[in-house]
Amino acid sequence: MDRFRLGLIGAGTWAIAQHLPAFVARDDIEPLIVCRRDADLVEQVAEHFGFERATTDWHEVIEARPDLIVISGPVVQRPEMVRAALEAGAHVLAEKPFALDPADAWELTALAEEKGLTLMLAYAWNFVRIVEEARRLLAEDGGVGKIEHVTLTMSNNVRDLLIVGRQYHDLPIDSPPRLETWGDPKISGGGYGHGQLTHGLGVMFRVVPLRATGAMALMSSREGVPVELHDAIAVRLDGGATAMVSGASLPVGTFDDVMQLQLRVTGERGQLLVDIDRPLVRRSRGEEDDVTLDLGDTGSDYSFATVVDRFVDLAAGRITENRAPGELGARVVEVLDAAYRSAESGRLEAVARD
């Protein structure tokens, strides 16, 4: 296929800032139909990015039968939207988490495979070189041996977004984020965990080839804020391994708004360290076996355009490796689902498996 017709559901702040500029910069994309709830704003989006049609009803995007559909609508509705897009025969790029219930996540993964369609999640950090180098170093020459413990710490500048819906992107259209999109658990499913820590877990499960069996979590916020700002999650992984996962929301401007993410994977032979901010990848297996990779100045460069490029290449059949497939997203959803249940119950919650 020389050109792909594009449909987008949920043309909010993030889609305007990242998805749409990356898609319309390509010569092989025909913007067909775009959807958001605000009638005036969706018309502005359509005009600015060259869409043929605009709508406030996401079902009309499905009915238009685009070749590619981006799902960036409210978290609570994403499973229904992804399912409808796949059933209509479209390749799907979905924001994350693409489901709140692990059963939905695994069902959608299986549906995409059954139909031979691409289902890719917008885990942009999974396409950064530092993550791929870490994954390679963990896999080659026995890595660190059997994995016994993992630590993941993440923090970034979304505190004001979760509390008051503060805008933190430069946009070509005045489209501030809706507070309820991030700050109403009935729509978002939760706070920092679903909104941001999902990024870190996406990196963790790209590097670490394991799956969670249970989680116990503590979450904290501030008075009057209905979603959590910080997460502390203890996770049990396959084979008896353990993990500690930490997420914290920071004020705008902290660390120059650069995301802080560090991953350590400990095994019977040593430890792998990934630090995205520095950037650094190091595997240590003793004094005579210590490897630090030279990543240069571009090792942790983030580009959402890379996500879009690889998604289109997958849909076109030019490449076959999906670095953010539904299967990876489902493993992330399992942890978050168990963590939120645990924060409410005060107990270790098992991951439900069929």
pLDDT digits (tens, 9 = 90+) for 203-246: 999 999 999 999 999 999 999 999 999 999 999 999 999 999 99
Query: Any alpha helices (H) in 88-143, and if so which ranges?
Result: 102-115, 129-139
Give residue 255's identity as a one-letter amino acid code: F
Q: Across-strand partners of 275?
A: 262, 280
pLDDT digits (tens, 9 = 90+) for 285-321: 988 899 999 887 777 888 899 999 999 999 999 999 9
Q: What share of the chain is helix, strand, coil (3-state, %, to 5)?
A: 40, 25, 35
CATH no. for 4-123+308-322: 3.40.50.720
Q: CB within 8 A of 128, min separation 6: which ones? A: 276, 299, 300, 301, 302
pLDDT digits (tens, 9 = 90+) for 133-185: 999 999 999 999 999 999 999 999 999 999 988 766 677 788 878 888 888 99
Nearest to 250 by CA among 155, 153, 152: 155
125-301+331-350: CATH topology: Dihydrodipicolinate Reductase; domain 2 (3.30.360)
Q: What is the pLDDT of residue 137?
A: 96
> What is the distance, to the nearest Å, from the Cα of residue 103 to the centroid of all Cα atoms in its chain?
18
Mean pLDDT of 246-259: 94
Burial degree of 63 (CB within 10 A; 0-12, 13-18, 19+): middle
Burial degree of 114 (CB within 10 A; 0-12, 13-18, 19+): exposed
User: Measured between alpha carbons, how far is 351 from 353 in angstroms, rounded to an integer?
Assistant: 6
Nearest to 155 by CA among 211, 95, 215, 195: 195
Q: What is the pLDDT of residue 167?
A: 65
Q: What is the pLDDT of residue 306?
A: 96
How long, in residues, is the chain? Answer: 354
Domain locations in the chain as residue ranges: 4-123+308-322, 125-301+331-350
Q: Across-strand partners of 214?
A: 236, 350
DSSP-derived pairing of the beta strands 260-267 and 242-249: unpaired
Measured on CA atoms in the order 6, 7, 10, 12, is the torsion positive or negative? positive
**Cis preceding-peptide flag for 279 (omega within 30 of 0):** yes
Provide the Cα torsion 208, 146, 293, 331; round to 10°.
0
Model-level pTM? 0.96
On the question of a common fold for 4-123+308-322 and 125-301+331-350, the answer reads: no
| Residue 264 token pair | 């350590």
User: Measured between alpha carbons, how far is 92 from 100 in angstroms, rounded to an integer?
Assistant: 18
User: Measured between alpha carbons, how far is 36 from 57 in angstroms, rounded to an integer?
Assistant: 7
